[in-house]
C-alpha cells in the first residue's frame, strides 16, 4: 500500500498498486472513503476499470476487421465480462512523492483484446482535494477501442447530518436483467431525477447516468448536507457517464457501514458493442482525462 499525505490540510490517501486502487481517503480530517474489508474482490473497491469499464454482454464483440472476439466471463451469473483487464493486476509505481503517485501498467494483446496499451494513473493531494487522472497510449499498429472508469466507494456516515444525492444528469440507461443497456430514458420518465437532490435514504441505485450537465467542461455529483455543503465528485468531459451504486452494506475492517459508489466512466455499459461514447485510439495516440474529489461549504 502507498500512503499519500498533505499534513497542512489534514488530508491523506491510501492507494494500492493492485488495480491502481484508491482504497482510503481523508480530506481535511474527514474520512470520506473507508478501506474495504480484505478478501472481498467482488466489490471492486477503488479499482481502475479498463480497457472497458462496464459489462460486455456474453464477453463477445466484433473488432474493426470483422473478427468476433471473446473475453473471459468473470460475472457468470449474468454471463458478462466485467470491468476490464487491470482491476486485479499490479501496476508499477513510476513516480512517487509525499502527496502524489503515478502508476503504470502495460496491457498486452490477447485473443479477446488484441491491442497493446500503456496506461498511467495518477493520484495527488493538493489544497485538501484529491486529483485523479489517466493517460493511455495505443502501442499497437491497429486502432484500439478503449474505455475507462474509476470505482470509489464513499462513506455516507462521515458527515454529522443526513446526506442528499445530487446527480447532474438528464438521462439514465435502461438495463435488462443482465445489466446490459437496451436504451436510454429521461431521468424524469424513469423516476430517477436527482438534479435537485434527494435524500440518500430514499434512493436505491445501480444505474448508469449520462447526458451530464458539463459546465466549462466539468460535471459534478454531490453528497450534500442540509446546509448545502458536503462532498463533490467532479469529472472532465472525457467521462460522459456517472455510474451510481448503493450497496445494501459495505464491509470494512471495523465492520459493515453505509456507502455509495460514484463512478466516473467514459463510456456506457457494453461499449465495445454499442460504440456509445467509446474512445478509439489510433496507433501511437494518447488520450487522457481527470476527475477529483473535494469538500464544499
> What single string gives the DSSP state of each residue in 165-224?
EEE-EEEEEEE-TTS-EEEEEETTTTT---TT-EEGGG---EEEEEEE--BTTEEEEEEE
Are 155 and 36 within 8 A, CB to CB? Answer: no
| Number of domains making up the chain | 1
User: What is the reported pLDDT for 191?
Assistant: 84
**What is the pairing mode between strands 164-167 and 206-212?**
unpaired
User: What is the reported pLDDT for 141?
Assistant: 95
Annotate 131-149 with b (16+ C-beta within 10 A) or e (fewer): bbbbbbbbbbeeebbbbbb
Q: Mean pLDDT over all residues of the chain?
A: 95
Which three-class secondary structure state does DSSP give residue 43?
helix
**Position 43 confidence tier, pLDDT thresholds 50, 70, 90:** confident
User: What is the reported pLDDT for 258?
Assistant: 87
Query: Does residue 158 surpass a pLDDT of 90?
Result: no
Lookup: cell for 262: 460514484
Q: Highest-confidence range of 41-45, 63-67, 160-164, 289-293, by mean pLDDT?
A: 289-293
User: What is the reported pLDDT for 249?
Assistant: 87
Query: Does residue 160 surpass a pLDDT of 80?
Result: no
**Position 90 confidence tier, pLDDT thresholds 50, 70, 90:** very high
> What are 257-283's pLDDT values in tens digits?
889 999 999 999 999 999 999 999 999
> What are 237-259's pLDDT values in tens digits?
999 999 999 998 898 888 888 89
**Position 157 confidence tier, pLDDT thresholds 50, 70, 90:** confident
Q: Which residues contact 65 (CB under 8 A, 6 or more apart)?
A: 142
Lookup: cell for 95: 513516480
Lookup: cell for 30: 474527514
Query: Does residue 202 surpass a pLDDT of 80?
Result: yes
- The residue among 280, 267, 288 whose CA lies nearest residue 143 is 280
Which residue range(s) make up the domain with 280?
Answer: 2-296
Structure pTM? 0.95
Handedness of CA 267, 269, 271, 272 (dihedral sign): positive
What CATH number does residue 149 fall under?
A: 2.70.98.10
| Bigger pLDDT: 60 vs 227 | 60
Query: Does residue 177 surpass a pLDDT of 80?
Result: yes
User: What is the reported pLDDT for 262?
Assistant: 98
Percent of the chain with pLDDT over 70: 100
Amino acid at each position: 500500500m502507498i500512503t499519500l499525505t498533505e499534513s497542512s490540510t489534514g488530508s491523506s490517501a491510501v492507494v494500492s498498486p493492485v488495480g491502481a486502487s484508491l482504497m482510503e481517503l481523508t480530506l481535511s480530517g474527514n474520512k470520506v472513503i473507508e478501506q474495504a474489508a480484505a478478501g472481498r474482490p467482488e466489490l471492486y473497491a477503488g479499482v481502475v476499470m479498463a480497457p472497458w469499464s462496464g459489462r460486455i454482454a456474453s464477453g463477445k464483440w466484433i473488432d474493426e476487421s470483422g473478427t468476433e472476439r471473446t473475453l473471459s466471463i468473470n460475472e457468470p451469473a449474468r454471463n458478462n465480462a466485467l470491468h476490464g483487464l487491470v482491476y486485479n493486476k499490479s501496476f508499477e509505481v513510476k513516480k512517487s512523492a509525499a502527496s502524489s503517485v503515478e502508476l503504470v501498467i502495460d496491457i498486452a494483446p490477447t485473443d479477446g483484446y488484441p491491442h497493446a496499451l500503456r496506461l498511467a494513473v495518477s493520484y495527488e493531494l493538493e489544497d485538501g482535494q484529491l486529483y485523479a487522472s489517466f493517460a493511455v497510449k495505443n502501442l499497437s499498429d491497429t486502432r484500439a477501442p478503449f474505455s475507462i472508469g474509476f470505482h470509489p466507494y464513499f462513506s455516507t456516515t462521515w458527515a454529522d447530518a443526513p446526506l442528499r444525492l445530487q446527480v447532474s444528469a438528464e438521462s439514465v440507461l435502461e438495463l435488462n436483467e443482465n445489466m446490459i443497456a437496451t436504451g436510454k430514458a429521461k431521468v424524469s420518465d424513469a423516476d430517477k431525477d436527482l438534479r435537485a437532490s434527494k435524500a440518500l435514504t430514499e434512493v436505491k441505485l445501480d444505474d448508469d447516468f449520462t447526458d451530464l450537465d458539463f459546465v466549462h467542461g466539468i460535471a459534478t455529483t454531490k453528497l450534500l448536507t442540509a446546509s448545502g455543503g458536503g462532498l463533490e465528485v467532479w469529472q472532465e468531459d472525457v467521462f460522459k457517464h456517472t455510474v451510481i451504486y448503493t450497496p445494501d452494506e459495505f464491509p470494512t475492517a471495523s465492520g459493515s457501514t453505509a456507502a455509495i459508489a460514484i463512478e466516473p466512466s467514459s463510456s456506457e455499459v457494453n461499449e465495445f458493442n454499442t460504440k456509445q461514447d467509446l474512445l478509439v485510439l489510433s496507433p501511437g495516440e494518447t488520450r487522457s482525462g481527470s476527475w477529483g474529489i473535494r469538500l464544499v461549504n
